[in-house]
Structure 1
Amino acid sequence: MVACGVLALVTVPAQAAPKDPVSALKAVSAPGHGVRFTDTVTWSDGTDERGARDNKGAFMFGKKGIAAFDITMDYGGDRKTRFISIGKTGYYSGSLLDGMLPEGKTWYKTAGGGAVPDAWAQVVNPAEPRTLAALIKKGARKGNVVTGSITLKELKAVSAWIGAANTGKENEGVKVAYTLTLSSAGLVSRVRTSFTLSKDGELNMVTVDSRYTGWGSKVSIKAPAPGSVTTEFR
């Protein structure tokens, strides 16, 4: 009996403590490093559902969180728009601006940097420690998956990605349902969100499925060449 008891103690493995996602994020958030992402965006009016857009890009960390990001938004065919954010300055280029810029200029400069480009981008930013902490706290965790919901108002309180955007007070009560998938290292590998906006009786249901790779890898994001930039339209 004593021998069996000893054997049982030896053969039962110790349970590993769950990785803390916020600590894991901070550990890879060195300046000049970052993460790459892809988004698949689906839109529905409640009856019809269709693919709206694909996004791909990267976040680059600085000394105080995200210093820059670069995102290309693909609407299909030749319709693509690229947005580069450096600090609080943003630069737009692509098919949506064709014919609108002065001759020889390919980038439009704006003060809208640091914010989510529009409602068809991922509204939850897992590269922000405060945002990730809020999602973990509000959600329910089972294994490597965290599910929950958070309002835009709550997101704006912790996220520069949303806080710097013009989302409108009328949308602050909108609930964003989210599912986070964590890797064995505690880093976010996937985020799936969905929310519904109602305007003039019409529903706009947006679902964004994002994948994140290369946490902590080197990322270089630079502003466009000054000669290609304008602050004016034709």
Structure 2
Amino acid sequence: MKQMIAGIAAATIITSVVATPVQAAASADPVKVLKSQFAAGKGVKFTDVATLVEFAGNRSFLKRTGSFQFGRAGIVASDVSAKLTTDETSEIPATLPWILNRPERTIRIGTTSYYTGGPWAPPKGKSWIKHPHGMNAGFSGWYGQLVNVAEPATLKALITKGKRTGRTYTGTISFGALEKISPWLRNTSLTGLSTDDKAAVLRFRLTLGSDQLPQRLVTVYPGRTHVSAAVGEDRQLSVETRYTGWGGRVTIKTPPASEVEKMGTREPTIRGGGRG
């Protein structure tokens, strides 16, 4: 009997020791966990898919893959590639077929952006266009994920406003509120958000992994105010983003100088002013 009691006691102690890290992770502050990832040369990768949602059905039209490189204070560089995923161009935002007549890629280091593909047309012998204060994800960025949960302030806002169920937070927030705290959103468009954009409210569903880091984010935007006034009343834009490889090695470099042309007069123009 004494041996049995001793065995049960030992098993209880072992179970408690094993359970402690799990319990600690579950109770950790996600914002503090995110900040703990900030180290030179580290980062995270992501993939997102944009879909038009309407009564007649859903149509996915844009896929992006990318990565964020961190420094001690947060994001210091990004690399985003985007391409159309549908041939039915009559059912997607009107400017996108021209913007993404070929896949677009944007490298942003600090405040400087380098563009290639898409509508960008560098002179012969060059592959990239350089802009000292450009968009963080090219023209296609306006239709991708505008909510960047790799930013501590943005992550905190969603967690604060969201209703928690397990590791998932659901809620709403306006673009105007996000613009005030998110450098990513402010640099998605050359022209900034319009009054209608700022007033628009998006719905979000954020799921954290067992490590308390963002794993999946789904946002739903009003189509009429966000995409175009010409988009029907029944349409919304939904973007699903998945994050992988937190804390892995990420190195984003500027393109070779010999392949880069400064923006100058080569900036493409789109009706609506610099939006993706």
Q: CA deviation at 1:44?
A: 3.7
RMSD between aligned residues: 2.5
Quick one: distance in 1 between partners of 2:213 and 2:229? Answer: 40
Deviations 1:159-200 (A, max 9, x none): 110123422233101111111111111011111111013244
Correspondence 1:50 to 2:73: no
**Which residue of the partner structure matches residue 160 of structure 2?**
137
Q: Match for 2:248: what amino acid?
A: S
Deviations 1:13-43 (A, max 9, x none): 7893523211110111112110000011112
**Which residue of the partner structure matches residue 131 of structure 2?**
110
Deviations 1:141-174 (A, max 9, x none): 1101010111001101111101234222331011
Q: CA deviation at 1:52?
A: 1.0
Q: Match for 1:212: what amino acid?
A: Y
More helix, by proportion: 2
Find the residue that maps to 2:27 and give its secondary structure.
coil
Change (3 A) 1:46 1:88: farther
Which region of structure 1 is more displaced relative to structure 2, 74-83 or 32-41?
Answer: 74-83
**Which residue of the partner structure matches residue 66 of structure 1?**
75
Which region of structure 1 is more displaced relative to structure 2, 109-118 or 142-151?
Answer: 109-118
**Which residue of the partner structure matches residue 83 of structure 1?**
106
Contact 1:39 1:210 in 2 (8 A): yes
After the TM superposition, list the runs of 4 or more consecutive aligned residues in structure 1 that deviate by more than 4 angstroms.
10-15
Find the residue that maps to 1:126 and give its secondary structure.
coil
Contact 1:116 1:123 in 2 (8 A): no
Find the residue that maps to 1:157 and give its secondary structure.
helix
Q: CA deviation at 1:114?
A: 6.4
Correspondence 1:216 to 2:247: yes
Please report the TM-score for the alignment, with normalisation by the length of structure 2. 0.74
Quick one: distance in 1 between partners of 2:53 and 2:210? Answer: 34
Contact 2:78 2:136 in 1 (8 A): no
Find the residue that maps to 1:149 and give its secondary structure.
strand
Quick one: distance in 1 between partners of 2:229 and 2:157? Answer: 32
Contact 1:82 1:94 in 2 (8 A): yes
Q: How does 1:1-234 map to 2 (within 5 A)?
A: 16=23, 18-44=27-53, 46-47=55-56, 49-76=58-85, 79-97=102-120, 100-113=121-134, 115=136, 117=138, 118-165=141-188, 166-198=192-224, 199-200=228-229, 202-203=231-232, 205-230=236-261, 231-232=263-264, 233=266
Contact 1:40 1:53 in 2 (8 A): yes
Contact 1:86 1:114 in 2 (8 A): no
Find the residue that maps to 2:143 and give its secondary structure.
coil
Q: Percent identity?
A: 35
More strand, by proportion: 1
Find the residue that maps to 1:119 and give its secondary structure.
helix
Q: Which runs of 5+ in 2 are unaligned?
A: 1-7, 87-100, 268-276
Quick one: distance in 2 between partners of 1:51 and 1:110? Answer: 30
Change (3 A) 1:191 1:37: same
Please report the TM-score for the alignment, with normalisation by the length of structure 1. 0.86
